[in-house]
Amino acid sequence: MTPDLSSLVLAQGGGSWITFDVNSFLNQFWDNTIDGLSYGSIYALVALGYTLVYGVLKLINFAHSEVFIYGAFATWFTFYGLGFRPGATPELPIFELIGFLLLALVASMAVSGGTAVVLERVAYRPLRKRKAPRLVFLITAIGASFVLQQILFIWRGGNPEDSIRLLRNDEVFTIFGGSVKIVTIITVIASILLMIGTDMFVNRTKFGRGIRAVAQDPDTATLMGVNKERVITLTFLIGGLLAGAAALFYMMKIPQGASYQGGFILGIKAFTAAVLGGIGNLRGALLGGLLLGVVENYGQSLFGGAWRDVVAFALLVLILMFRPTGILGESLGKARV
Amino acid sequence: MTTTTTPPAAPAKARRRPVSDWWNRLSRVQQWGVLIPLVALVYLLPVLNPPLITTQPGYDFPIAMFEVSRYALVAIGLNIVVGQAGLLDLGYVGFFAIGAYVMALFTSPDSSLAKLPFLVVLPIAMVVTMIFGVILGTPTLRLRGDYLAIVTLGFGEIVRLLADNIDPLRGNRGFQGVGHPPGVKADGNPLFNNTDGIPWYWLCVTIIIVILFVVGNLERSRVGRAWVAIRDDEDAAEIMGVPTFKFKIWAFVGGAAVGGLSGALYAGQLGFVNNQKFDVVTSMLFLAAVILGGAGNKVGVLLGAIVVAYVPLRFQAIAEYKYLIFGLALIVLMIFRPQGLLGARQRLLAYGRQAYQRLLGKGEQVSSDGSLVSDKAGEKA
């Protein structure tokens, strides 16, 4: 607010490295918070996939970012198939709009869920049969990530698809001077509903109990009559479905369209979110996602757009230094009956 | 990875390794007799330019050989961290980038810093990367396994993003005219230039041989034994009095130094450094080289690096699909041969028994897996 704070500069040699733009930070605080929450809920949805798989298999599913981007492509092709083309946003009646969005959501979730299940079958199941050590799973995940990415690259080329938009980027109302857009409302509300749904599924249903049992102790769970293979497939399926939903919101939000590499950074960020909250912990993923989204946006307005990703990774290192198992700790396995 | 602590006789018989058995039965002198011509052949390779192996006309063969040797150097460095100490590092390209940037900052006319000769900057680059190894290692090495992996991945990305965003590092514009080692040809042109790969290749191979000696001796030393202990069971090692944190930092710093060295060489040969070459994919390729060959096995990681670097250069037609092929190769390899092309050899027990045998005045015939080839009576005596 005070003018002497507004351009605090870390000077070195001739030029300045980092500029602290305190004014921009203060002026756009609420805008950033709202925008951060909507990014954060996308991260959280993807992070749930990482967390579920990690909880059950103790595996960082590096290919989950590709599962996500397959959903994004499914969204794009659904819009394209419905006759929309990149460029101007069409004026649609509200029911039609909702119908199209739901259609895209279903397509995206189906493709992502399918990809995740196929991935599990093809890449991870043979390793489980051979009782491979955990490092081997991780390398396979990296390999699978390469393969899925390159299939997209060979099919669609290196350039991102042009963005197709169904929703206008209009402001609906303002909170404390921060503008709230229709995309933000849909993203945040739908994400939170999906996360509550997932949480209830895992904590309240019979299948969920199976997931928690396998996460806690796979051998004992098997002895108790839990079908471990089915639980693992189910876990990948849920993760994939959530990633698919996240992909739709992501496509509505970002200015550019889907690109074959588009999932990579988002995947790392979502994983960061999962680790922040405590990987293997569903509520931790939500907390970590929202926290990461908001802090990242604050960092962006404070240091400038280019520093966004640096802030995210620095936050990861900082939190792990003080809490090596994340904010809420690992807990999918510690069943709350 | 962890099956090496107790080498029972049965799996040793099931997994026969004729070449290494034959190698281990040779005496020192005989081993040298095989090695010296082999090394000479390796040195002569770019000059000979053998017809089937050559990458021409698609790609200049000596430069391709330098690329391969550079990958080999990186793989040896990363093997210290991943193979020996069992710390999964997904951000190794960060150290590589730091080495390259230090070289560029101190030798390129585009940098505002003082200009120093190549040979002075080389150790500086190593020291700076070692310092970064400590900076990364100290706060993060308390983390285990996957957490460590993701933090190192984050570190690699931070280094790349800093190169993107910090103005003196010049982002995409990069540094031209990075320095090279001294020496001129008869016609007065510099010996080490950007178009002739042969001197660079020789330099790199020499460095690899030196580092192989150093790493080989480290393996047999207290440090190496501590690394293997940590890799196999960190908790057990800690309880048995191994200062695990200290040795993990050692591994990190050692690996970082080699990474920085190879980065500096790379910058020198290319003569140009910008932010494009240091992404996570490169890190994954480095890791793929180590895993492909067999983490923890020096010869294995050399082989892995050669495959990873050479195949796309040789078969330009598949270069476009190299990541796809890598991915598939990694998946298939992990399913059918999870220990890599050449698995980690557990030589420590072998060395221990060798020493014991010498004390008893017996021969030193020990098979590759550490079980005695000579009579068992000596062991009981």
The mean pLDDT value for B26-42 works out to 85
**Range with the largest mean pLDDT of A167-176, A268-277, B133-142, B206-215:** B206-215
Query: CB distance B139–A321 less than 8 Å?
Result: yes
Distance CA B44, CA B84 (A): 31
Backbone angles phi, psi at A171, to 5 degrees: -80, 135
Separation between Cα atoms, residue B154 and residue B160, nearest integer Å: 10
pTM of the full predicted structure? 0.81
Interface touch A13/B112, C-beta < 8 Å: yes
C-alpha to C-alpha distance for A46 and A68, rounded to whole angstroms: 7
CB A191 within 8 A of CB A48: no
Q: Do B150 and A316 touch (CB under 8 A)?
A: yes
How many C-beta atoms surround the C-beta of residue B13 within 10 A? 11
Give, in order, the Cα–Cα distances in Å from B303 to each of B72, B89, B174, B288, B291: 8, 20, 32, 12, 11
Q: Do A136 and B334 touch (CB under 8 A)?
A: yes
More confidently predicted of A55 and B374: A55
In a 3-state reduction of DSSP, which class is residue B366?
Answer: strand
Return the percentage of chain B with pLDDT > 70, whole number: 85
Residue among B165, B168, B328 whose CB faces A306 most closely: B165
Mean per-residue pLDDT for B63-90?
90
pLDDT at B43 over 80: yes
The neighbour count for residue A87, using CB atoms within 10 Å, is 10
Contact A126 B157 (CB under 8 A): no
Tokens of A330: 């690992």
Contact present, B133 and B99 (Cβ < 8 Å): no
What is the pLDDT, as a whole number, of residue B265?
Answer: 92
Residues on chain A touching B150 (C-beta within 8 angstroms): 60, 271-272, 275, 316
Partner B, chain A 36-65, Cβ-Cβ below 8 Å:
54, 58, 60
Residues B161 and A309: their CA atoms lie apart, in Å, by 8
- Preferred mutation among B1, B138, B334, B339 to probe A, highest tally of A CBs within 10 A: B334
User: Phi and psi (nearest 5°) for B33?
Assistant: -60, -35
Decide if A268 touches B, using CB distance below 8 A.
Answer: yes
CA quadruple B160, B161, B163, B165: dihedral, nearest 10: 170
Distance in angstroms (rounded) separating the CA atoms of residues A156 and A144: 18
What letter does residue A130 receive in the DSSP assignment? Answer: T
pLDDT average, residue stretch B216-235: 88
Residues in chain A: 337
Q: Which of A178, A310, A318 is nearest to B160 (CA)?
A: A310
pLDDT of residue A148: 92
- Helix, strand or coil for residue B207? helix
Give the DSSP H or E segment for A117.
helix A94-119
Query: pLDDT value at position B344?
Result: 62
Tokens matching residue B239: 């309880």
Cα separation, A281 vs A51, in Å, equals 6
Contact B90, B152 (CB under 8 A): yes
Burial B82-95 (b: 16+ CB within 10 A, else e): bbbbbbbbbbbbbb
Measured on CA atoms in the order A66, A71, A72, A73, is the torsion positive or negative? positive
Quote the pLDDT of residue A335.
40
The answer to whether the CB of B103 falls within 8 A of the CB of B264 is yes
Q: Is the ipTM of this complex over 0.85?
A: no
- The CA distances from residue B265 to A47, B24, B54, B102, B262, in Å, are 39, 34, 23, 11, 5
Please give the pLDDT value at position B11: 46
The set of residues, in sequence order, having a beta carbon less than 8 Å from that of B41 and lying 6+ positions away, is: none
Q: What is the rounded distance in angstroms from the CA atom of residue B299 to the CA atom of residue A83?
A: 57
* In chain B, % of residues over pLDDT 90: 23
A10 CB near a chain B CB, below 8 Å?
Answer: no
Q: Nearest CA to A335 among A232, A216, A223, A226?
A: A216
Q: Residue A319, class by beta-carbon neighbours within 10 Å (0-12 exposed, 13-18 middle, 19+ buried)?
A: buried
Assess whether pLDDT exceeds 60 at residue B15: no
Concatenated DSSP letters for A253-290? HSSS---TTHHHHHHHHHHHHHHHH-TT-HHHHHHHHH
Residue B368 pLDDT level (bands cut at 50, 70, 90): very low
Residues of chain A with pLDDT under 70: 1-20, 88, 169, 171, 330-337
Both tokens of A166, joined, read 């169904």
- What phi, psi does B366 have (nearest 5°)? -130, 135
Tokens describing residue A64: 């989950």
pLDDT value at B351 more than 60: no
Asked if the Cβ–Cβ distance from A313 to B158 is below 8 Å, we say: yes
DSSP string, B250-276: HHHHHHHHHHHHHHHHHHHHH--B-GG
Query: Residue A30 and residue A25: Cα distance in Å, rounded?
Result: 9
Q: Which of A13, A16, A139 sits opposite B334 (nearest CB)?
A: A139
Q: Tell me which residue in B149, B155, B167 faces A60 most closely, judged by beta carbons.
A: B149
Taking chain B, what is the end-to-end CA distance rounded to the nearest angstrom? Answer: 33
Question: How many helices and strands (H and E) does chain A possess?
Answer: 14, 4
For residue A318, give how far its alpha carbon lies from the nearest alpha carbon of chain B (Å).
9
Chain A residues with CB-CB distance to B147 below 8 A: 275, 320, 324-325
Q: pLDDT at position A163, please?
A: 81
Q: Tell me the backbone φ, ψ of residue B216, rounded to 5 degrees.
A: -60, -40
> Residue B353: which pLDDT band, with cuts at 50, 70 and 90?
low
Q: What is the pLDDT of residue B297?
A: 84
**Cα end-to-end distance, chain A, whole Å:** 51
Please tell me the distance from the alpha carbon of residue B24 to that of residue B327, in angstroms, as a whole number.
34
* Residue B81 backbone dihedrals phi, psi, to 5 degrees: -75, -50
Longest dimension (CA), chain A: 69
Q: Does B12 score more than 70 pLDDT?
A: no
**Interval B259-284: pLDDT, tens:** 999 999 999 998 888 888 888 888 88
- Residues of chain A contacting residue B324, judged by C-beta atoms under 8 Å apart: 146-147, 150-151, 154
Give B161's contacts (C-beta < 8 A, 6+ positions apart).
A306, A307, A309, A310, A313
Position B13 pLDDT exceeds 50: no
A160/A158 Cα distance (integer angstroms): 7
Instruction: For chain B, give percent helix, strand, coil, nearest 5.
Output: 70, 0, 30
Structure tokens that stand for B101 in this block: 């940037």
- The letter for the amino acid at A26 is L
Output the six-digit token pair for A52: 């579920």
Task: Indicate the average pLDDT of chain B.
Answer: 81
Q: Give the Cα separation of A239 and B374 in Å (integer).
A: 56
Contact between B178 and B274 under an 8 Å Cβ cutoff? The reply is no
**B313: Cα within 13 Å, side-chain hemisphere:** 21
State which amino acid sits at residue B45.
Answer: L
Cis peptide before B57 (omega within 30 of 0): yes
Q: How many residues does chain B have?
A: 381
